[in-house]
Structure 1
Amino acid sequence: MTRIRVNTNFNMHVEEQGRGPAIIMLHGFCGSSKYWSSLIPLLSEQYRVIVPDLRGHGKSDAPVGAYTIEQMADDILDLANTLELSKFVLLGHSLGGYITLSFAQRYADRLNGFGLIHSTGYPDTEEGKQKRVATVQSLQAGGIVPMVDELIPKLFAASHIDEHAEQVSKAKEIGYLTPPQGAAGAALAMRERPDRTAVLAATALPLLLIAGEQDGIVTSDKMFTVNGPNVTQVTLTGVGHMSMMESPERLADAVASYMHQIRA
């Protein structure tokens, strides 16, 4: 556990465990490195697992104002440089996936592979952009708690919501720790992100795409936009948008299988 200064004036909180090939994993909106707490022990026996709190989230700094996805990707580049990682695998969940795509588009030479976990290369629709503005207005009016209370239950598979009550509660507690200005800055970053489906189509790097069968946020048709010998597609049955909490063992198996292909 440490704080690392990146982008000259930004302090990032980072958790790290294990040895071996490096994997940096990026959490989603109003999450933190704690999203991966069940996954880390399952992967760290074979891999060096690095999980930062993104700009505006968790224990990292939360500057006031709109962020950009490119800025958040540059934070990860500086993190990798500080940790002296010449190459690594980058996996992003939801918002973390948007950041991963920006990184892969501009810094592919630093990657051994990359992947999206419940994320997409598509930009926000016009309706989605309006909802981002509404989210910022909600944060300004009522703070983080009401927004998180509304958001988090929607991220879990509806048919399994009762059996995941403990995980839903944990995700809410993580979300409550997001500084309101950080959530607002990230929401505006997501609103302005461009279409990056071409990044997925063009890459020759090993690509991992993981979808939840019951994901109501990013459906499989928005995820599985490419096929090819370098592409691994995984659909987790009975899972929504939060496989790292809903089914960490199966998510870890999918990541480990992908990593084994890279090393083979």
Structure 2
Amino acid sequence: MPTAKLANSLRVAYADEGRGTPVLLLHGYCGSRRYWDDVLPALSARFRVIAPDCRGHGETEATGGSYAMEQLAEDAVQLLDELGVDRAFVLGHSMGGYAALALSERYEDRLLGLGLLHSTTFPDDGAGKAGREKVAKRVAEEGIAGHINDLIPKLFAPEHRESMPEKLRTALDIGYGTSPLGAIGGALGMKERPDRRFVLERLSVPALLLAGEADAVIAPEKRFPVSRADISAVELARCGHMGMMEAPEAFAEAIVSFVRSNGEEG
């Protein structure tokens, strides 16, 4: 896979496949660009798909400290700059959605559209913030494996933990590849993120909100915070937090439909 050294000196690994309308995919916490493996063929057959490993995840360099969502957004914009892409559909899964919202707030002129995939505009509540602190402390003291073993099964719908053992194993393997610095930085950065519902309310480009019916991470009342004609809301039946693995055909079709309805197919 190619790598790029960004203007901020971060070395980023990424996939860049297909031609036509640019679609930037930002993966979730303790994931990597491999999260998109099951949907990338369908997407790259129609569009130019750029899928980086975020800071401290996959094969991208890890740095210390908290990874503010604004920092992850800046990394994404600098990668687009490096690849000569002026505007793109920016779609983020979970933590990647939080970064996409931060990008939208500061760089809306770089967007063709926004996608929140199993993500939300809402910040962590008090219990959520305490949980992030606990994760950061645990990873610092014990390493990554125990945290990943606890985290990943919860991302799949209960029925899929039994019926999709290979996909669960893949997600675990991807998680084990996360740098401890990346897991700590991501947890602390998500803890600090603000409420960005206003970004979605004021957005001047179309948006896709995609949720899983059985998602145990994003509560039902937080999945579709804004309703408007140019906001597409899609719920994947019997799906948890990992639609790209649990229901790849429906997941890819939702993205293809959204991009084709609001852009030009390559």
What is the TM-score with the length of structure 2 in the denominator? 0.97
Identify if the C-alpha distance between structure 1 residues 191 and 7 changes in structure 2 by more than 3 Å, giving closer, same or farther. Answer: farther
| Rounded Cα–Cα distance in structure 2 between residues aligned with 1:159 and 1:260 | 32
CA contact (8 A) 1:67 1:189 kept: yes
Aligned to 2:17: 17
* CA displacement at 1:20 relative to structure 2: 0.9
3-state SS of the aligned residue for 2:66? coil
| Rounded Cα–Cα distance in structure 2 between residues aligned with 1:61 and 1:148 | 19
3-state SS of the aligned residue for 1:234? strand
Aligned to 1:93: 93
Residues 24-43 of structure 1 mapped to structure 2, 5 A cutoff: 24-43=24-43
* CA displacement at 1:7 relative to structure 2: 3.9
Gapped runs of 5+ residues in structure 2? none
CA contact (8 A) 2:56 2:178 kept: yes
CA RMSD of aligned residues (A): 0.9
1:195-243 residue CA offsets vs partner (Å, 9 max, x unmatched): 0011111112110000000000012320201111110000000100000
* CA displacement at 1:42 relative to structure 2: 0.9
3-state SS of the aligned residue for 1:162? helix
Aligned to 1:200: 200
* CA displacement at 1:17 relative to structure 2: 0.8
CA contact (8 A) 2:211 2:234 kept: yes
- Mapped pair 1:83 → 2:83: yes
Counterpart code for 2:165: A
- What is the count of residue pairs matched by the alignment? 264
Aligned to 1:216: 216
CA contact (8 A) 1:26 1:54 kept: yes
CA contact (8 A) 1:211 1:219 kept: no
Aligned to 1:127: 127
Aligned to 1:117: 117
CA contact (8 A) 2:112 2:263 kept: no
3-state SS of the aligned residue for 1:194? coil
3-state SS of the aligned residue for 1:35? helix
* CA displacement at 1:160 relative to structure 2: 2.5
Q: Percent identity?
A: 42
CA contact (8 A) 2:132 2:188 kept: yes
| Rounded Cα–Cα distance in structure 2 between residues aligned with 1:86 and 1:237 | 35
Counterpart code for 1:235: E
Residues 1-264 of structure 1 mapped to structure 2, 5 A cutoff: 1-263=1-263
* CA displacement at 1:72 relative to structure 2: 0.8
| Rounded Cα–Cα distance in structure 2 between residues aligned with 1:112 and 1:189 | 26
CA contact (8 A) 1:214 1:240 kept: yes
Q: Which 4+ residue blocks in structure 1 deviate beyond 4 angstroms?
A: none
3-state SS of the aligned residue for 2:100? helix
| Rounded Cα–Cα distance in structure 1 between residues aligned with 2:61 and 2:9 | 9
